[in-house]
C-alpha cells in the first residue's frame, strides 16, 4: 500500500473520508427520519401529510437545541480580548 499512496495524500484522504461520511450520514438521516420523504406506498398516495409534530421533531433536533444556547462566535476569547474598551 505504501508504494501506491504517498504520505502527502493522507490529509486529503482523511478530509475526503470525513466529507463522504458526513454526506452518507445526512442522506441516511433524511431517508429514514425526514417527514417529507415517502418510501412506502401508503404515504405516497396522500398528497399532503398532516404530520406537524413529526416535522417539528425532525427540525428541532438535539444539536440545534444545544447550539441555540451558545454564542455564535468561533473564537470567543480572542473576540472579547480585541473588542473590550481598555483605554
The residues spanned by each domain of the chain are: 7-83
Average model confidence (pLDDT) across the chain: 82
CA 54/CA 57 separation, integer angstroms? 5
Q: Cell numbers for 64, please give them.
A: 440545534
Instruction: Please state whether the predicted TM-score (pTM) of the whole model is above 0.75.
Output: no
State whether the Cα torsion 48-49-53-58 is positive or negative: negative
- The Cα–Cα gap between 33 and 26 comes to 10
Q: What pLDDT, in 10s, does the model give residues 8-46?
A: 999 999 999 999 999 999 999 888 888 777 777 776 677
Looking at residue 87, its pLDDT comes to 43
| 16/13 Cα distance (integer angstroms) | 5
Average pLDDT over residues 65-75: 84
- The pLDDT-based confidence of 72 (bands split at 50, 70, 90) is confident
Amino acid at each position: 500500500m505504501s508504494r501506491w499512496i504517498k504520505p502527502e495524500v493522507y490529509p486529503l484522504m482523511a478530509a475526503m473520508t470525513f466529507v463522504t461520511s458526513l454526506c452518507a450520514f445526512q442522506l441516511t438521516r433524511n431517508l429514514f427520519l425526514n417527514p417529507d420523504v415517502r418510501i412506502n406506498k401508503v404515504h405516497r398516495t396522500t398528497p399532503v401529510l398532516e404530520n406537524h409534530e413529526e416535522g417539528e421533531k425532525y427540525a428541532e433536533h438535539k444539536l440545534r437545541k444545544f447550539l441555540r444556547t451558545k454564542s455564535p462566535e468561533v473564537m470567543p476569547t480572542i473576540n472579547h480580548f480585541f473588542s473590550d474598551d481598555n483605554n
